[in-house]
């Protein structure tokens, strides 16, 4: 399994687990399987499909969602529609987009949220702790969940600022990376370096259908519109980074 697929898996499994956590009841484990379609913005890389299992856990304070560990500093209300704040300390793995530059780094940071009947507003800040690029990321987002008896549909939008160091790590191509592509026989990407901050915008849609108290099915899509400085990379021919997923989950 390539690194980008793990990253995409984190996005989908986070949505499944977050939906499970919104239900009433004790702390939950979630196990399941995910099928993914990923379209890379890099011209040389083909669209990919993959399927794999995952495990997640959400406790009263501590949680594990895919590749993210977190600790809640504020208690959550029994009714998620009650107006409340959330504040989490988080640590997560970061993957490079595409499949030709396999690299894993780790970030730590915090996420602040305001939730209620109006939806959810969130702000997040992350810092590289692997001394790979020492970059930062700040994102703000909004989502709203529509409920029916068994169906939850949650559209969301987000703006993500990446410092020049992080942007170059995420979207640039170095001579060392090209040498590894040649060695491994991966698609060869042109050299490119970013020296400016970037802002990418994304939209996502998650739909979860509860079959019963334990089983649920999820469909998920996420598309990020890339900053023009990212799209200036001659190896990037698409304006977006796209992931679509379908999964099944068992909560207990």
Question: What pLDDT is stored for residue 1 in this prediction?
Answer: 38
Question: What pLDDT is stored for residue 108 in this prediction?
Answer: 98
Question: What pLDDT is stored for residue 16 in this prediction?
Answer: 54
pLDDT in tens, the chain (252 residues): 344 444 444 555 555 554 554 444 555 888 888 898 999 999 888 888 888 887 888 888 999 887 889 999 998 887 878 999 999 999 999 989 888 888 889 999 999 999 999 999 999 999 999 999 999 999 999 999 998 989 999 999 999 999 999 999 999 999 999 999 998 888 899 999 999 999 999 999 999 999 998 899 989 999 999 999 999 999 999 999 999 999 998 988
Q: Which residues of 210-235 are buried (b: 16+ CB within 10 A; e: fewer)?
A: beeeeebebbbbbbbebbebbbebeb
Q: How many angstroms separate the CA atoms of 52 and 56, rounded?
A: 14
Query: Which of 151, 158, 136, 137 shows the shortest CA–CA distance to 225?
Result: 158
Q: How many angstroms separate the CA atoms of 133 and 168, rounded?
A: 9
CATH number at residue 80: 2.40.160.40
Percent of residues, the chain, with pLDDT higher than 70:
89
Question: DSSP letters of 44-68?
Answer: TS--EEEEEEEEEEE-SSEEEETTE
pTM: 0.89
Within the chain, what is the greatest distance between any pair of CA atoms? 55
Q: Domain total for the chain?
A: 1
Question: What pLDDT is stored for residue 66 in this prediction?
Answer: 77
Query: Which of 191, 193, 187, 202 shows the shortest CA–CA distance to 240?
Result: 202
Q: How many angstroms separate the CA atoms of 122 and 116, rounded?
A: 12
Question: What pLDDT is stored for residue 219 in this prediction?
Answer: 92
* Phi–psi pair at 26, nearest 5 degrees: -75, 175
Q: Are 43 and 99 in contact (CB under 8 A)?
A: no
Give the side-chain half-sphere CA count within 13 A for 55: 0
pLDDT tens-digit series, residues 135-175: 999 999 999 999 898 999 999 999 999 999 999 999 999 99
Question: What pLDDT is stored for residue 88 in this prediction?
Answer: 96
Query: Which domain covers residue 148, as residue numbers?
Result: 3-251
DSSP letter (8 states) at residue 150 = S
Query: Which of 221, 111, 222, 218 shows the shortest CA–CA distance to 158?
Result: 222
Structure tokens at 80: 């998620």
DSSP letter (8 states) at residue 96 = -
Dihedral, CA of residue 76, residue 67, residue 55 and residue 85, to nearest 10:
10
Question: DSSP letters of 200-212?
Answer: EEEEEEEEEEESS
Question: What pLDDT is stored for residue 67 in this prediction?
Answer: 83
Q: How many angstroms separate the CA atoms of 226 and 173, rounded?
A: 16
Structure tokens at 242: 């796209």
């Amino acid at each position: 399994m390539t690194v980008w697929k793990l990253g995409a898996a984190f996005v989908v499994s986070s949505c499944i687990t977050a939906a499970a956590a919104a239900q009433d009841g004790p702390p939950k484990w979630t196990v399941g399987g995910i099928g993914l379609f990923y379209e890379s913005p890099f011209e040389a890389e083909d669209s990919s499909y993959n399927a794999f299992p995952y495990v997640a856990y959400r406790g009263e304070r501590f949680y594990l969602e895919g590749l993210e560990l977190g600790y809640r500093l504020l208690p959550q209300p029994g009714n998620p529609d009650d107006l409340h704040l959330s504040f989490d300390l988080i640590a997560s793995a970061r993957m490079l987009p595409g499949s030709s530059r396999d690299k894993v780094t780790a970030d730590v940071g915090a996420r602040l949220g305001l939730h209620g009947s109006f939806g959810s507003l969130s702000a997040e800040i992350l810092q590289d702790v692997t001394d790979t690029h020492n970059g930062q990321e700040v994102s703000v987002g909004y989502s709203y969940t529509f409920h029916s008896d068994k169906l939850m549909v949650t559209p969301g939008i987000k703006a993500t600022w990446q410092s020049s160091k992080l942007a170059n790590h995420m979207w640039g191509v170095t001579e060392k990376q090209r040498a590894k592509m040649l060695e491994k026989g991966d698609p060869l990407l042109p050299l490119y370096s970013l020296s400016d901050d970037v802002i990418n915008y994304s939209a996502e849609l998650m739909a979860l259908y509860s079959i019963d108290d334990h089983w649920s099915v999820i469909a998920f899509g996420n598309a990020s519109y890339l900053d023009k400085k990212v799209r200036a990379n001659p190896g990037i021919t698409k304006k977006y980074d796209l992931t679509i997923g379908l999964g099944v989950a068992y909560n207990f």
